[in-house]
Structure 1
Amino acid sequence: MNTLEAIIIAIIEGLTEYLPISSTAHMGFVANLMGMENSEFLKMFQVSIQFGAILSIVALYWKKFFDFSNFNFYLKLGFAVIPALALGYLLDDKIEAVLGNQIAISSVLVLGGIILIFVDKWFKNPKIEDEKEITFKTAITIGFFQCLAMMPGTSRSAASIIGGMTQGLSRKAAAEFSFFLAVPTMLAVTVYSVFVKTWGKGTVNEMKGYEMILQDNQHIMLFLIGNVVAFIVAMIAVKFFISILTKFGFKVWGWYRIIIGILLLIYFWNNPKVESTDSTEITSIQVSAND
C-alpha cells in the first residue's frame, strides 16, 4: 500500500463510517477496484484507522463524553455494547468468511436500501428527543440491533439508528446515540485488532497488528496519515449527515444504497474472478476484524 492508497481508503472510512451505507462495503469495493494487494496489513489498516473516526465523535460531542456527572450515560453505552462484543467474538470466523463474497455484500446493500426508503413512514411519531430519556432497556435493545451489522454490507450505523427508531427515538436522537455507541464498540474492535489479534495466523508471517505497524517507517507513516485523514473527514461527514437526516430523512440514503448496490452487483457478476480485499467495518462489529 502506498501513501495515496492509504489516503483514499481513509477518506472512504471517514465518509462512510457514520453514514447508513456500510463502510466495510465501500472500503472493500474501492480497494478492490484499485487493484490493491490483498495483504494482512491492508486488512489491519482498515480496522486501525477507525481510531481516527472514533476521535472525531469524541471531539464533536466532547461535552457529552466528558460530563462525568452523568454516569448513567457511560453505563448505558457499556450495557449497549455488550451484545456486539460477545457475538462478534463468537462469530468471528463466520463473519470473515462472508467478507470475501462481494455479491453477497452488494445484495445486502440493496436490501438495506429498500428498508431505509420506508423507515421514515414506519416510525412517524417519535417519543424520545434526548439521550437522557433513553432507558437501560432501550439502550440494550439498540445494542442488539447493532449486531445485525455483523453481516457485511448492513452498516452498523443503519442497524443501530433503525433500532433506536423502533424504540421511539427521533431520527436525530437515534443517529446521535448510534454515534455515541460507536465509540466503545469500535474502540474495542480496534484495540483487539491492533494488540490482540494475530494476523496471518498459521503462516510464516503471522504478527500482531502493532508489530505490522512498527515493522518499518512506511507502515508507521501510513498508520498516522490514515488516522488523521479519517478523523478530519469523519467530522465533516457527521455534521453533513445530521443536517441531511434532519431535513430529508433516510430515503436519500436508501436510494443511494440501491443504486450503488445494483451497479456493484453488475460489476462483480461480470467480473467473478476479481479478488476480494477482505475489508473490515464494525461497521463491522467484529471484535477481531471491522463490518
Structure 2
Amino acid sequence: MDFVEILKAILLGIVQGITEWLPVSSTGHLILVEDFIKFNLSQTFVSTFFVVIQLGSILAVVVLFFSKLNPFDPGKTGYEKKETLSLWIKIIVATVPAGVIGFLFDDKIEELLYNPTTVALTLIIYGIIFIIIENRNRRPKINNFDGLSYKTAVLIGLFQMLALIPGTSRSGATIIGAVLLGTSRYIAAEFSFFLAIPVMLGASGYKLLKSGMVFSGTEWLALGTGSLVAFVVSIFVIKFLMDYIKKHDFKVFGYYRIILGILVLAYFYIIK
C-alpha cells in the first residue's frame, strides 16, 4: 500500500469538499492541484477519481437536508409531502439537459476541454458575470420552492449544462441561472445543492461502469478515503455558505475566480 497516494487522496478530498459547493469550480481546482501532486496510479483511476470523489459531497447534502428532501417524513403534513414530491420533480426535470449532453459527449468534452487554459478562462469569465449580476442588485421574485415553477426549473437546468465545461462550476452555473431568473440567493444555492444529487450519482455511476472498476487495493482505498474526506469537509462548507449568503452576496467569489484564473494562466504559460 502506498501511503503517499492516500495522502494525495486526502488533500484532493479536502479540495473537493471545499470547492464543490462554493461557486468556484471543484473540477477546475482538482485538475490544478493534481498538476502539483500527480497520482502515481493508472490514468483510468485518476479520471474516475475526479468524478466519483463527488459521491462524498452528495452524501453531505442528503444528510443535511434529509428532512426537507424526504417526502415520506411522518412529521410533514399532507400538503408538505406533496410539495416535497413536487420539488423532486423539479430537480429531475432540471437534471435532464446536463445529463443527456454529458452522457452523449463525455469523452469529447474531456478530450477537448480538460486543460488549464479552459479552466483559467472560465474562472475569469464567470467571475466577471458574478460581479455584474450582483451589481444589478434586483429584488428576488422567488423566495421559496413553492414559487419555483417547472419552467424555471428547466431553465436552471439549461444553465447547469454550462458546468460541463471545466472551470465553470456546477454550483456557479446553476446559481447564476437561478438568480437571473429571479430566485433569491438562498433558494438558488439550495436548489443547486439538490440538483447535485442526481447529477453526481449519474456521473459517478457512469464513470465507474465505464472504467470497468478494475482498480488495485491502493486505488480503491484512495477513492474511499478521498470520498470520506470530501463528505466531512462538505458538511462544514455547506453550513458556512448557507449562513454566509444570509448577509452577503456572491461578489467575493467573483473576485476570487478572476484572481485565480489569472494566476493559473501565469503559472502554466509563464512560470512552468
Structure 2-normalised TM-score? 0.90
Quote the offset at 1:44 in angstroms. Answer: 0.8
Aligned residue in 1 for 2:208:
194
Aligned residue in 2 for 1:262:
262
Asked whether 1:126 is paired with 2:140, we answer yes
- How far apart, in 2, do the equivalents of 1:11 and 1:98 lie? 27
Asked whether 1:180 is paired with 2:194, we answer yes
Asked whether 1:65 is paired with 2:79, we answer no
Aligned residue in 1 for 2:11:
8
CA contact (8 A) 2:162 2:168 kept: yes
Quote the offset at 1:244 in angstroms. Answer: 2.2
Amino acid at match of 2:132: F
- How far apart, in 2, do the equivalents of 1:235 and 1:52 lie? 10
Please give the secondary structure, in 2, of the residue aligned with 1:91. Answer: helix
CA contact (8 A) 2:14 2:229 kept: yes
CA contact (8 A) 1:98 1:104 kept: no
- How far apart, in 1, do the equivalents of 2:271 and 2:262 lie? 14
CA contact (8 A) 1:17 1:53 kept: yes
Aligned residue-pair number: 258
> Which structure's residues are more often helix, by fraction?
2
Q: How does 1:75-224 map to 2 (within 5 A)?
A: 75-195=89-209, 197=210, 199=211, 208=212, 210-212=213-215, 215-216=216-217, 218-224=218-224
- How far apart, in 1, do the equivalents of 2:118 and 2:7 lie? 29
Aligned residue in 2 for 1:204:
none
CA contact (8 A) 2:5 2:39 kept: no
Runs of 4+ in 1 over 3 A off after TM superposition: 35-38
Quote the offset at 1:123 in angstroms. Answer: 5.0
Quote the offset at 1:271 in angstroms. Answer: 5.1
Please give the secondary structure, in 2, of the residue aligned with 1:211. Answer: coil
Aligned residue in 2 for 1:36:
39
- How far apart, in 2, do the equivalents of 1:92 and 1:122 lie? 35
Aligned residue in 1 for 2:238:
238
Amino acid at match of 1:238: I
Quote the offset at 1:36 in angstroms. Answer: 3.5
CA contact (8 A) 1:120 1:249 kept: yes
Please give the secondary structure, in 1, of the residue aligned with 2:142. Answer: coil
CA deviations on 1:208-248 (whole Å, 9 max, x unpaired) are 1x222xx32x2232222111101010111111122222322
- How far apart, in 2, do the equivalents of 1:93 and 1:5 lie? 25
CA deviations on 1:170-216 (whole Å, 9 max, x unpaired) are 00111101101111111110111112x1x4xxxxxxxx1x222xx32
Aligned residue in 2 for 1:45:
49
Aligned residue in 2 for 1:276:
none
Segments of 5+ residues of structure 1 without an aligned counterpart are 200-207, 273-291
- How far apart, in 2, do the equivalents of 1:100 and 1:88 lie? 14
Quote the offset at 1:67 in angstroms. Answer: 2.3
CA contact (8 A) 2:114 2:166 kept: no
Please give the secondary structure, in 2, of the residue aligned with 1:269. Answer: helix
| Cα RMSD for the two superposed structures | 1.6
Structure 1-normalised TM-score? 0.84
- How far apart, in 2, do the equivalents of 1:190 and 1:35 lie? 21
Identity level (%): 41
Aligned residue in 1 for 2:77:
none
